[in-house]
Chains A and B, each alone.
Chain A
Amino acid sequence: MNALWKVARFTATDIFRSKWLPVYTVFFFLIAEGLFRFSGDSGQALVSLTNITILLIPAASIIYGALYFYGAREFIELLLAQPVGRKPLFTGLFSGIAGALGGGFLIGTGLPCLLHGTADDRITILAILSIGVMLTLIFVALALLVAVRSDEKVRGVGICLGLWLAFAILYDGLIWLVLALFADYPLERAAIVMTTLNPIDLGRVGIMLRLDIAALMGYTGAVFEQFFGSRVGFTLTSGAMLAWIVAPFMLALRSFSRKDF
């Protein structure tokens, strides 16, 4: 446990010192601050903030996570020569990267939200922040999974980019295709199931439930609202999000434990 904490702290300070984290934080701060200042209506600012959270966080987390792991390869090999368990070492690495990125996002986005957000928007802001943190955890875990499995840096980063593209864009295209092809059938349930299988879509729907509640109360939207808005739906989607963190992490941990460095 001690080793885990030490590795995590070292990783986080390392990311901070490399100026990556300050830049990341300031970037989110400027974006959020600018949006609140210039978009006139806090609703519009939150919409844009949602888009950025949902797109940028997965991209940044998965690419930076992989790059950091490749960069830290020698450091990892050095530590493995010491009496340090592989489990605490890997968990420490994950916590350090995810904690640094998640913290940077929370501070960068949270401050402007605190400054400008109205009382009505409080829950929406909370949803955006927590979904941002969840997405960070998920995509750092995915990044480590790819980086552990693939020794070649270029190939690894390429796979990460591909994964991001698939989750962020292609998957939705697939959903749309299915919805268009089977338009004659009632597809509300199918749409819900397909959405739950993609973490970015889960995050998107979670925020949509707050921001577009008026539109969701329409005919089809009501079906989605009934599911995702209910306690069962919330539990299920939170469970799916958690599974999306735990599964890649466990897989990566297993590969890391068995890996021949």
Chain B
Amino acid sequence: MPPHDMGRHCSSLEMMSAAAGQILRLLLLFSICFACMRTSAVHAAEVRVGNGVDFAAAVAKAAAGDRIIVPNGVHTAIDVKIDKPLEITGQAGATLDGKGKSQILIISAGNVVIRGLTFIRSGMSYVSDNAAIKATGISDLKIENCSFRDNFFGIYLAKSSNCIVRNCSFKASGRLESSSGNGIHQWYCRNSVIENNTIAGHRDGIYLEFSRNAIIRGNKSLNNIRYGLHFMFSDSCAYRDNLFQENGAGVAVMYSKFITMTGNIFRQNWGPAAYGLLLKEIADSHIERNRIEGNTTGLYADGCNRNTIHFNTFHRNGWGVKIYANSSQNNFKDNNFLSNTFAVSTNSSSLQTNVFDANYWSEYTGYDLNRDGFGDAAHHPVRLFTILIERQPTSLILLRSLFIDLLDAAERALPVLTPQTLADAHPRMKPKQ
């Protein structure tokens, strides 16, 4: 019977059941056509934890594609294996407790969705990387609105692709690097999306190794023991609008190409080995519109080539930029250097191939006679004192001394030690907005 006839003649109840039948028939057709696809998702049943069914039993009982509902309360979950596509949803206050023994969820199937759960106490170990959620060799895992407290590792993704971690919060209270794990850890992953999470108190907030095409955005990584963000050998990833604050050693990115880092804030990373942003062997990347403020070293570049560093603001850092002579052809343009103790430092006075152009330097003393907005005299951001400190760090005690200012002035008039090729030919008169 064609549906448009039905709507006119039948009662609404009959219409609904008939429509349902129609849909079922359609679905049957689909499932025959794509027998290998997960038809079960359509017949999703709900399995509730509780009434004598504990979490592990509920997982065992559930069929592929079922939804497991975890009610309010603390449920023990130790090494629960999830080897079929499931949707695990926590009601308010639903908590999975690893009892500090081992891992909580071990996922070995694709298309798992985890929502609204709190994970506590995955076990600390010096031997294995115990995580609240560990996923290996899967795809399309989605973790949303979850909370992780006092776990060793929070989420550990290995050899997985297309995974999403969104709106989660991580809080650990580790003290030592060796006895605490990473918040979100990725190893050999592809196309992950990590967004709007808050991570605090872990070893590294977000860690990526050998990963490709990850998108990391809108996260807050605070007070972690080592790095707020740490990635190695992870090319073509994008980091946008994240906040990295007061991490033990700031943010370290190493041995990667084609990275995009835009709109991030790197703030107040203090210490002898603390960097707002540490770049080691980074090439062909874009670092734009970031705000780097109050760090011991704002941006540290070691062996970095052909990067563009544009529109960033370096504000009140000890060293705005520390760039070593093994870095070449980096382009610093349209950045604002505001009130850094040392704007730029380098370890060599030899030929520099890094280009500084059209930046604003708050310590620039030149003039602009033709009123084009750019100073008429070039600015040399590396002071003599910066070089002296590289050689004799104790002389930092003479910072802001008139004696040092006189030496600087003499060096400016007759440069001997400072790199003359490291100069901004068109220093801005006003900060770039």
Contact = CB atoms under 8 A, between A and B. Distances in A.
Given A172-B404, A176-B398, 10 more contacts: A43-B315, A44-B339, A51-B405, A169-B402, A180-B392, A213-B270, A215-B319, A216-B318, A218-B272, A224-B397
Interface in A181-222: 183, 187-188, 191-192, 195, 201, 204-205, 207-208, 211-222
Interface-central residue, B272, B274, B431, by most chain A CB under 10 Å: B272
Nearest to B268: A214
Contacts of B316: 43, 214
A217 B396 contact: no
B294 A220 contact: no
Contact of A220 (B339, B393, B404, B430): B393
Given A40-B338, A215-B341, A221-B318, A208 B270 contact: no
B70 to A, nearest CB: 45
Interface-central residue, A39, A51, A214, by most chain B CB under 10 Å: A214
Contact of A217 (B271, B339, B362, B363): B271
A108 to B, nearest CB: 21
A176 B296 contact: no
Interface in B381-400: 391-400
Contacts, number: 118
Contact of B395 (A179, A208, A214): A179
Nearest to A174: B403
B187 interface: no
B392 A215 contact: no
B334 to A, nearest CB: 16
A224 B316 CA distance: 19
Contacts of A211: 341
A58 to B, nearest CB: 10
A173 B405 CA distance: 11
A168 interface: yes
B207 interface: no
For chain A, which range describes its interface: under 10, 10 to 19, 20 to 34, or 35 or more residues? 35 or more
Contacts of B271: 217-218, 222
A173 B403 CA distance: 6
Closest 9 CB pairs of A and B: A215-B318, A43-B339, A172-B403, A215-B341, A219-B272, A214-B318, A220-B393, A217-B270, A172-B401
A237 B318 CA distance: 23
A55 interface: yes
Contacts of B397: 175, 179, 191-192, 195, 205, 224
Contact of A44 (B296, B342, B363, B402): B363
B406 interface: yes
A191 B394 CA distance: 7
A74 interface: no
B122 interface: no
Nearest to A205: B397
Interface in B334-358: 338-339, 341-342
30 contacts: A40-B430, A40-B431, A43-B338, A44-B338, A51-B400, A168-B403, A169-B403, A172-B402, A173-B403, A176-B403, A176-B404, A179-B392, A180-B395, A183-B392, A204-B399, A204-B400, A207-B400, A211-B341, A212-B341, A212-B400, A214-B317, A215-B318, A217-B271, A217-B274, A218-B271, A218-B272, A218-B297, A218-B393, A219-B272, A221-B318
Interface string A32-64: 000000011101100100110011000000000
B207 to A, nearest CB: 24
A86 to B, nearest CB: 37
Given A51-B400, A212-B318, A39 B393 contact: no
Nearest to A120: B316
A83 B319 CA distance: 62
B339 A55 contact: no
Given A40-B431, A47-B339, A169-B402, A220 B296 contact: no
Nearest to B295: A214
Contacts of B363: 44
Contacts of A201: 401
B270 A188 contact: no
A207 B271 CA distance: 19
Interface residues of B, number: 37
B401 A204 contact: yes
A39 B339 CA distance: 10
B399 A168 contact: no
A14 B393 CA distance: 49
A215 B403 contact: no
A118 to B, nearest CB: 12
A238 B339 CA distance: 27
B339 A175 contact: no
B105 to A, nearest CB: 40
Contact of B402 (A40, A55, A205, A207): A55
Nearest to B271: A217
A176 B400 contact: no
Given A172-B398, A180-B392, A219-B393, A214 B404 contact: no
Interface string B397-419: 11111111110000000000000
Contact of A224 (B294, B396, B402): B396
A44 B394 CA distance: 24
Nearest to A191: B397
A119 to B, nearest CB: 15
Contacts of A221: 318, 396
Contact of A50 (B338, B396, B400, B404): B400
Contacts of B342: 215
A233 B191 CA distance: 53
Contacts of B392: 179-180, 183
B406 A169 contact: yes
Interface in B288-307: 294-297
A239 B356 CA distance: 46
Interface in A68-96: none
Interface-central residue, A192, A208, A215, by most chain B CB under 10 Å: A215
A47 B400 contact: yes
